[in-house]
Chains A and B, each alone.
Chain A
């Protein structure tokens, strides 16, 4: 069943020089129990998408149009009080990049997690602490560390603390923005493994946001590729990686080296992403695309399911 549906979302930022079209008309669906990867390079709009869902945009960001339906309810429309009460952290929670540095340095981790519970639910502190102990066990830190300070924990454990905080109110959906970028390889693998297990155990839906396609390949069921504020390709993870349709996806996957298999040449893309104040007409990628034709320069391609396999792509060449 569909847990999250984003329809034609537009989130722009006001600046002195005009609107920065950070997220420009995106749509996607996420079922319960599925993990979605939102991939793209810096500035493509993936973090803005996450902030839009959580309604945590900075003061100059605004959701101009579109719907975000969570369990059937449009969360863009409702008041921020209502959203805070009913949805944020209770049904949708988040883990941000480098979140381990956002832990309060002079409060026990147990208290910090318990605070998240007490703020959103009407339970006693005692009960919150009990639940915290269980959470710490769940994420693999161990309830014995409930009175530790953040600086007494290693990087991986801090990240798990943050995961525990995100799970505090038993949400249905967790957004993880670059959860392992600040971690070492082995620790990152451990944390990802823990997250995968938690996802299975608690039947969570997750959205992983990352520029690291290799990481997303390990952990996600579905992947959406974003470029310059638009989703250019979306589908099942195997389908995307084995048969990438969009030229950008193809090149992007090719840019990640692999330790398995034959050593192949890494691909790269000339130029750099467009200015989101004045994005180019037509397909946003056409300036850097080697297959660009006239129609690419004038008309924006629509997301189509070319082969009927729930593998969507927005490309004039490949989307027919």
Chain B
């Protein structure tokens, strides 16, 4: 493992047990489970921004939480700078690890404790990690990170409560909270999708600025392919718990190889009424993750489906330089 790989995910799986009624547990042999994440692998290098793109229910949000150990994986391994995360089993080590990873959530209204002041919210990671040397030190660091996010003068914000700020301001506070402890790895789950379009770019710019300043690796989770193009160096396209295609963003967007990626890209609207687009030809909707289709997950909707697709699952293999694909059409 090279030194500049921050995150390495190998064959990660997460199955959620479904809650069923009392009698079903007695009568049925096994409890059904949702295969939210079903054997995915990828790496994120230092200073790299990796995007996980997909529609709802594809497992991207679950993956983000798995990387931060907010949920425990069912199987598979996650390595953070060479350290196997499943080997950490005491609280003290876990806490030290958490200092290096942070997450920013989608909903700016929910991710801030409504009863805490902005100052308390931003300073919280410092206090939990015991990284501060007293009040003045804390105050300075809060002011510093607020300046990075162009929320000055800090006094105007630190005494306020979340309900007094706008959506964009709240999200900046969430970003401030994530960066105050200088994390080496950051996960952002749709950080701007609930903000107005005209302020998204500004918030993203500030976020990316901080990522660069702290040389963090960044996992950006989104359903917005167009936005992923602007932010991510590399993306992975997820469908029903699996990564279908992975590689450099521009390559994938301009020349999608996997039929699903193709369909996804052609379905994304563009702000140009004169653009000629290829038609979306796939039909139907995403199947259930409790009983996913056998063989290739996408075969039920794929316009190029072949016999082998129904039986055998394609492996994610490298087809070109740094481009990975899981599709029988190309593996022939």
Residues of B within 8 A of A241 (CB): 271-274
Interface residues on B, range: 35 or more
The answer to whether A259 touches B270, judged by C-beta atoms less than 8 angstroms apart, is: yes
The total of Cβ contacts below 8 Å across the A-B interface reads: 118
CB contact between A268 and one of B55, B201, B225, B267 (< 8 Å): that residue: B201
Assess A184 versus B286: contact at CB under 8 Å? Given A212-B269, A255-B197, A268-B202.
Answer: yes
Cα of A26 to Cα of B285 in the assembled complex, Å? 40
B145: shortest Cβ distance to chain A, in Å? 20
Q: Which residue of B lies closest to A213 (CB)?
A: B271
Residues of B within 8 A of A189 (CB): 266-269, 280
Q: At the interface, yes or no: B263 with Cβ under 8 Å from chain A?
A: yes
Query: Which A273-293 residues have C-beta < 8 A from chain B?
Result: none
Residues of A within 8 A of B177 (CB): none
Cα of A218 to Cα of B265 in the assembled complex, Å? 14
Assess A218 versus B264: contact at CB under 8 Å? Given A157-B285, A258-B226, A268-B199.
Answer: no
A21: shortest Cβ distance to chain B, in Å? 19
Q: B197-208 vs A: 1/0 string, CB under 8 Å?
A: 111111011000
The answer to whether B198 touches A263, judged by C-beta atoms less than 8 angstroms apart, is: no
Q: At the interface, yes or no: B56 with Cβ under 8 Å from chain A?
A: yes
Cα of A157 to Cα of B250 in the assembled complex, Å? 33
Q: At the interface, yes or no: A80 with Cβ under 8 Å from chain B?
A: no
CB contact between A253 and one of B55, B205, B271 (< 8 Å): that residue: B271
Residues of A within 8 A of B286 (CB): 154, 184
The answer to whether B273 touches A257, judged by C-beta atoms less than 8 angstroms apart, is: no
Q: At the interface, yes or no: B77 with Cβ under 8 Å from chain A?
A: no
The answer to whether A260 touches B270, judged by C-beta atoms less than 8 angstroms apart, is: yes
Residues of B within 8 A of A263 (CB): 229-230, 250
Cα of A153 to Cα of B198 in the assembled complex, Å? 35
Residues of B within 8 A of A260 (CB): 270, 272, 275
Cα of A212 to Cα of B197 in the assembled complex, Å? 8
Q: At the interface, yes or no: A188 with Cβ under 8 Å from chain B?
A: yes
Cα of A270 to Cα of B203 in the assembled complex, Å? 11
Q: At the interface, yes or no: A61 with Cβ under 8 Å from chain B?
A: no
Cα of A241 to Cα of B253 in the assembled complex, Å? 23
Q: At the interface, yes or no: B168 with Cβ under 8 Å from chain A?
A: yes
Cα of A53 to Cα of B273 in the assembled complex, Å? 27
The answer to whether A186 touches B198, judged by C-beta atoms less than 8 angstroms apart, is: no
Query: Which B185-216 residues have C-beta < 8 A from chain A?
Result: 196-202, 204-205
Cα of A15 to Cα of B38 in the assembled complex, Å? 52
CB contact between B269 and one of A41, A215, A238 (< 8 Å): that residue: A215
Residues of A within 8 A of B271 (CB): 213-214, 217, 241, 253, 256, 258
Residues of B within 8 A of A253 (CB): 271
B60: shortest Cβ distance to chain A, in Å? 12
Q: A226-264 vs B: 1/0 string, CB under 8 Å?
A: 000000000001100110000000011101111111010
Residues of A within 8 A of B283 (CB): 190
The answer to whether A217 touches B270, judged by C-beta atoms less than 8 angstroms apart, is: yes
Query: Which B220-239 residues have C-beta < 8 A from chain A?
Result: 223-227, 229-230
Q: At the interface, yes or no: B94 with Cβ under 8 Å from chain A?
A: no
The answer to whether A256 touches B273, judged by C-beta atoms less than 8 angstroms apart, is: no
The answer to whether A272 touches B225, judged by C-beta atoms less than 8 angstroms apart, is: no
Q: At the interface, yes or no: A150 with Cβ under 8 Å from chain B?
A: no
Q: Which residue of B lies closest to A242 (CB)?
A: B274
Q: At the interface, yes or no: A155 with Cβ under 8 Å from chain B?
A: yes
The answer to whether B267 touches A188, judged by C-beta atoms less than 8 angstroms apart, is: yes
Cα of A88 to Cα of B199 in the assembled complex, Å? 37
B317: shortest Cβ distance to chain A, in Å? 25
CB contact between A42 and one of B55, B196, B201, B226 (< 8 Å): that residue: B196
The answer to whether A214 touches B200, judged by C-beta atoms less than 8 angstroms apart, is: no
Q: At the interface, yes or no: B127 with Cβ under 8 Å from chain A?
A: no
The 4 closest A-B pairs by CB, nearest first: A268-B201, A189-B267, A266-B201, A214-B269
Which B residues lie at the A interface, using CB under 8 A? 55-56, 166, 168, 196-202, 204-205, 223-227, 229-230, 250, 253, 263-275, 280, 282-283, 285-286
Which A residues lie at the B interface, using CB under 8 A? 41-42, 154-157, 184-190, 192-193, 211-215, 217-218, 237-238, 241-242, 251-253, 255-261, 263, 266-270, 272
